[in-house]
A and B are shown apart, each in its own frame.
Chain A
Amino acid sequence: MATAEARGARLGRLERSALTGVLVREAVNYSSYWKSSTFSSTVEPTIYLLAFGFGFGSLVSTIGGYDYVDFVGTGTVATAVLFSSAFPAMFGTFVKYQFQRTYDAILAAPVDTEELVTAEALWIATRAGVYGCVPMLVAMVFGLDPSWGMLAVPFIGWVAGFGWACFGISIAGYAKSFENFNYVVSAVLTPLFLLAGSFFPLDNFPQWAQVLANLNPLHHCVVLVRHAVFGSDGWKDLARLGALAVFGLLVWRIAIHAMTRKLID
Chain B
Amino acid sequence: MADLAICLRGVVKRYGAITAVDGLDLDVPEGTCVGLLGPNGAGKSTTMRLLTAQAIADEGELEVLGFRLPEESKQARAQCGVVPQLDNLDTTLTVEQNLLVFAHLYRIERSKRREAIERALKMSKLVDRRGSRVDKLSGGMRRRLLIARALVHRPRLALLDEPTVGLDPQVRQELWALIDALRTEGTTILMSTHYIEEAQRLADTVLIMSHGSAVAAGPPSELVLEHAGHEVLEVYGPPARLAEVEAEAGAAGMRTRRTGTSISILGVDGTNGFTIDGERRPANLEDVFVLLTGEEIA
A interface residues (Cβ-Cβ under 8 A, vs B): 1-8, 10-11, 17-18, 20-22, 24-25, 28-29, 32-33, 100-102, 104-112, 263-265
A11–B74 contact, CB under 8 A? yes
With known contacts A28-B101, A108-B77, A109-B105, A7–B67 Cβ distance under 8 A = yes
Q: Which of A22, A32, A107 contacts B52 (CB 8 A)?
A: A107
Q: Which of A8, A21, A108, A264 contacts B75 (CB 8 A)?
A: A8
Q: Hey, what's the 0/1 contact readout for B42-71 against A, CB within 8 Å counting as 1?
A: 000010010011111000000101110000
With known contacts A110-B106, A111-B105, A264-B56, A102–B88 Cβ distance under 8 A = yes
Which chain A residues border B167 with CB–CB below 8 Å? none
Which chain A residues border B136 with CB–CB below 8 Å? none
A102–B105 contact, CB under 8 A? no
When C-beta atoms are compared, the residue in chain A nearest to B102 turns out to be A109
With known contacts A2-B66, A11-B78, A102-B88, A108–B54 Cβ distance under 8 A = yes
B266: interface (CB < 8 Å): no
Q: How many A-B contacts at CB < 8 Å in the complex?
A: 112
- B241 CB → nearest A CB, Å: 48
Nearest 10 CB-CB pairings of A with B? A21-B105, A101-B88, A108-B82, A265-B55, A110-B78, A109-B105, A3-B3, A4-B66, A24-B104, A21-B104
Per the CB 8 Å criterion, the residue count for chain B at the interface is 44
Q: Give the distance in Å from the alpha carbon of A128 to the alpha carbon of B77 in the complex.
A: 32
Q: Other than the known A1-B4, A2-B5, A24-B105, what 7 A-B pairs have Cβ atoms closer than 8 Å?
A: A7-B66, A10-B72, A11-B74, A24-B104, A107-B52, A108-B82, A109-B106
- A184 CB → nearest B CB, Å: 26
B104–A3 contact, CB under 8 A? no
When C-beta atoms are compared, the residue in chain A nearest to B97 turns out to be A28
B184: interface (CB < 8 Å): no
Can you show 6 pairs from A to B with CB atoms below 8 A apart?
A1-B3, A5-B66, A7-B66, A29-B90, A102-B90, A264-B56
